[in-house]
Chains A and B, each alone.
Chain A
Amino acid sequence: MPSWSRKALLSFLLPVAGVAAALLLVEYLKRAGFLPVTIPAPSQVWEALLANPRGIGLALAETTANAVRGYAVATVVALGAAFVGALVAALRPAIYNLGVGLSSIPLIAATPLLALWLGNGPLTRSLIAGLASYFPILVGAMQGFRAYETNHMELFHVYSASRWRVFCSLILPSSLPYLFAGLKLAAPLAVLGSLTAELTGADNGIGVLMLSALFSFDTKQVWLTVLISCALSGAGYAIWALIERVVIYWDSPTELKT
């Protein structure tokens, strides 16, 4: 077996085996009576999922939809702002400072305000998801659009390339590692924003289930919703990590080595 595929297999199998072992251990400890009532056995959490798959599925769809809508808007706005900053250097500090200012608003405080203005519906919750996630995309794009090498820019200059050509053939490809870093970081934040918005009063969503489980002291349901949130965040990150692998096929000096 070639060494790279063995490495890939190991990097996949090891975590899976680790998680499985941990689950078995917790299951055993619970059944042997070593664990407090606040920690359910994995099998009990699984049963909680099987008890109401349709309800949980609908809640997951709601939370995901809000996160994805917000994330999409955040991506468009942040990339657009960074693009304008790349074209007009004088606007760069203003865009960055506005970004910092917006991102320092506590989401939990912004939610009631937005609910007041826009109604307590999907629009508000999507916007909160967007607010929660745009900043890493903005920072990644603003850094990335300036990450080209001076040498390369001089080459395009000697060939008297148009600004559009410079952007497409140099600035954009050079920025990809930074763009993906921002997009990867932002995906879990969008899930967080979507959940946070639901906590202040929604009628459907994982956050709603989480809250009601908490108030009825339904330990299994709390754990189930927490685990589903983690899985959703992780999936958001993983999707972009996969896309990055396909898109950045060259050895990039700025890529994080693992």
Chain B
Amino acid sequence: MSKDLKVQAASKWFESRGSQVIALDRANLSLPEGGFGALIGPSGCGKSTLLRMIADITPPSSGTILLGNELPSAARRAHAIGFVFQSATLLPWRTVRANISLPLTIVGRGSKRVASRTPDELIELVNLKGFEDSLPAHLSGGMQQRVSIARALVLEPDILLLDEPFGALDEITRQRMNLELLRIWAESGTTALLVTHSIGEAVFMADTVFVMSPRPGRVSLTVDVPLPRPRTLEMMASQAFFDTVNRVRDGLFGAESPQMNDHLASVY
């Protein structure tokens, strides 16, 4: 039930002490159904704002966002949106299983949105078997975030939005979580859009990387990733990966510092 995403000239501005602050200026992007997109950019480029507009948490000031042929508000009311927050956002009084089942409680177990996978199968999918009855406070940060991913998949979302879901995790856990996320995404076939700070992560995960720049926030470059699926860690050593990372980085930094670019290339 996956749907394509079209963002057309979406803008967002705020009034602040009488003056207008533009958080996002006429952003355009499109993602085919079942595609994986990544939004990357420095702080203040409006990537979280864009994601929250797609989820209908905040409305755009102007422009159009379409999921299939629906507005985000209609998609949200149809329970078509899965959202993974920066923090795991688990309810502390619910066990792992009860947290994952929360969307079922909200939409009702009879809804046609209910995924074919049961909460217990999802717990297995995110490798948390044995922790079904644990409370979130007794889990590590990585485990909590996996619970929140399972929760986002307990309904079959048309689109899965991820707002720096692994930003607070260490590099090793993060890499493992990314592989897991790709596996889950491939199995579910949903359209996915990931906000990230990391160039390597964006290229490794996505079919298309949308590079954003700040003041005012806008989508300044779209980079297609020529790596095949399924992605493997070995691909991160390939020439195609390096070339794509370079293109994204050029989009982020321009040609302002070649030495800097060489240094960054050695990092990734």
Contact = CB atoms under 8 A, between A and B. Distances in A.
Contact of A158 (B55, B93, B105): B55
B92 A169 contact: no
Nearest to A151: B89
A81 B77 CA distance: 30
A177 to B, nearest CB: 11
Contacts of B85: 151, 154-155
A159 B79 contact: yes
Interface residues of B, number: 23
Interface string A144-161: 000001011011111111
A252 to B, nearest CB: 7
B93 A161 contact: no
Interface in A160-204: 160-162, 165, 169-170, 173
How many of chain A's residues touch chain B, expressed as a range? 20 to 34
Contact of B77 (A160, A165, A169, A248): A160
Contacts of A165: 105-106
Contact of B91 (A152, A157, A162): A152
Interface of B: 55-57, 76-79, 81, 83, 85, 87, 89, 91-93, 102-103, 105-107, 135, 137, 155
Interface of A: 149, 151-152, 154-162, 165, 169-170, 173, 248-252
30 contacts: A151-B85, A151-B87, A151-B89, A152-B89, A154-B85, A154-B89, A155-B85, A157-B57, A157-B76, A158-B56, A158-B57, A158-B81, A159-B79, A159-B102, A159-B106, A160-B76, A160-B79, A160-B107, A162-B106, A165-B105, A169-B102, A169-B105, A169-B106, A173-B91, A173-B93, A248-B93, A249-B93, A250-B93, A250-B135, A251-B137
